[in-house]
Structure 1
């Protein structure tokens, strides 16, 4: 089956997903939603699509089967809720929702629309290289700790320094370093090690009350995971998973590149595969399979949904610890 795809959001990540969706052969872009007709038309030119909507109801009734949502975090909830009510499958960019209350309401709605599938687009955990990391972690005798690093200077940080308040650094849009970049290593940690027993977040506050960078500590029964992330600087540190005498080194926890396993004799074993040209292709293929073959993939789908909801709760707990409140919070 080829899914008729509609998109909300016309930024670079949307373009990358549409290209991946087309490359997978499982989707065809047929409709674009944008607040401004000209913006939607400009986006559609690259894909020969001229069906642009500025009314969300008309967009959802345009004949699409699945919607990809890459709008600001704060509006995901209402857009996803409306899509599910129209019995549309949903792929929503991370962070999916502002808080657990929103997620609980979406879960209740999904229970009423049993044939609808909703996915959070955490592309890195669907990469073949991430599967290699999971396999190697399972083989390690003991996990003693881990450090995940993802700091990347945002093109919008210059705007912040100039006195503006870009969406990706604004509590108004349920954004900041934690929900924009921190979610990558946090997703990886929870996928690999499960939900932590306790969490702490040491945030570096911005003048608007959001976070520009921070360090999160995940405490597990026998080890801790330190997660460092930020949008106002560039880090070139590797991420590491520590065993006893062995260590797994990951060059980029978000892009999942350059995986090296050092055994007990300190011998290096290169494990990573060459990355795919478009890192969103694997998730596009996996999501299409789960939408098409619902009975066969029900267990794996439920695991993904549970993982997404767990990440949402942990993000909320971290914000609570740091005293960061979003307007969307009750």
Structure 2
């Protein structure tokens, strides 16, 4: 059994716990919240034996082996490094940190303490993503990667009424790129590596974060186009376009239906067996790393997380998107 503590009591934590319970060897041991009332309520709801209002006490607990972090983006680095310095393995929600400097600090801390650190980016952990990778040779020479994740946020309704919630506050290192754009960029880097050219445009909101944006990146012989938004919807699928065929992906954040459309008109459905909750697969991967004594995932690797952070930081510079965390370097 691997005993987990969780930092954060929001909806994503609820979803992770529901999924992680499907993973063999998962044990929920502790929860942290800033307030005693929330911590106690969450512990009682989920049958958690221990609850904390001090992260230091959670990190030092001898009853916890690993910690899942689902706090605001701006707190990821500080909290993860504290836990890793106490010898705890860390599964940290995407984005791993606010900026490249923080990501590098986290990777150094993990290496120094000999613990597992993995970014909880679900897309690349799914069986459908491995199926995407396996289909690439059928496409011929790949010329374009196109990923689209535009999902109107219910919190934007509040924003338009004058109530700025955390999702649109720069002090929490939030916005469309960090929330949705990363789902497009992470698979791109996992499949094709870091691009040599990055060009970004977008719409900045009055609160100081981006509402939507587009990033065009260049590789030798191919390019990649990413579109993301929290202020509009889109029904477009994502694609990987080769000279011989195009692979159509239903939803880049949670791919499940894949089709190959060949130039001669043939269409091939790619069969994928994916019967677990989508976040179960990242929990399984993370726990296997701990059991095997490996510090990082081959897919959600430290190099991939760092490269994605570098792309997003360059895109933010071009957009003029600055977080308070950037000034603390």
TM tier relative to shorter chain: over 0.9
The reply to whether residue 88 of structure 1 matches residue 88 of structure 2 is yes
Unaligned regions of 5+ residues in structure 2, if any? Answer: none
Instruction: Name the SS for the 2:106 alignment partner.
Output: helix
Q: What TM-score results when the alignment is normalised by the length of structure 2?
A: 0.95
Supply the distance in 2 between the matched residues of 1:243 and 1:138 (Cα, whole angstroms): 9
Residue in 2 aligned with 1:6? 5
Q: Which runs of 4+ in 1 moved over 6 A?
A: none
Supply the distance in 1 between the matched residues of 2:254 and 2:271 (Cα, whole angstroms): 12
- 1:1-330 to structure 2, matched below 5 A, reads 2-62=1-61, 63-114=63-114, 116-294=115-293, 297=294, 300-301=297-298, 304-330=301-327
Supply the distance in 2 between the matched residues of 1:298 and 1:140 (Cα, whole angstroms): 34
Supply the distance in 2 between the matched residues of 1:85 and 1:300 (Cα, whole angstroms): 20
Supply the distance in 1 between the matched residues of 2:134 and 2:234 (Cα, whole angstroms): 27
Shift in alpha-carbon separation, 1:22–1:97, aligned structure 2, 3 A: same
Unaligned regions of 5+ residues in structure 1, if any? Answer: none
Aligned length: 326
Higher alpha-carbon deviation: 249-258 or 135-144: 135-144
Q: 1:257·1:272 contact (CA, 8 Å) conserved in 2?
A: no
Supply the distance in 2 between the matched residues of 1:137 and 1:24 (Cα, whole angstroms): 29
Q: How much is the aligned-residue C-alpha RMSD, in angstroms? A: 1.6
Q: What TM-score results when the alignment is normalised by the length of structure 1?
A: 0.94
Supply the distance in 2 between the matched residues of 1:200 and 1:112 (Cα, whole angstroms): 35
Supply the distance in 2 between the matched residues of 1:104 and 1:258 (Cα, whole angstroms): 35
Supply the distance in 2 between the matched residues of 1:246 and 1:301 (Cα, whole angstroms): 28
Q: 2:7·2:67 contact (CA, 8 Å) conserved in 1?
A: yes
Deviation of the 1:303 alpha carbon:
6.5
Deviations 1:146-198 (A, max 9, x none): 22110111121112111122212221111100000000011011111110111
Instruction: Name the SS for the 1:209 alignment partner.
Output: coil
Supply the distance in 1 between the matched residues of 2:325 and 2:201 (Cα, whole angstroms): 22
Deviation of the 1:300 alpha carbon:
4.6
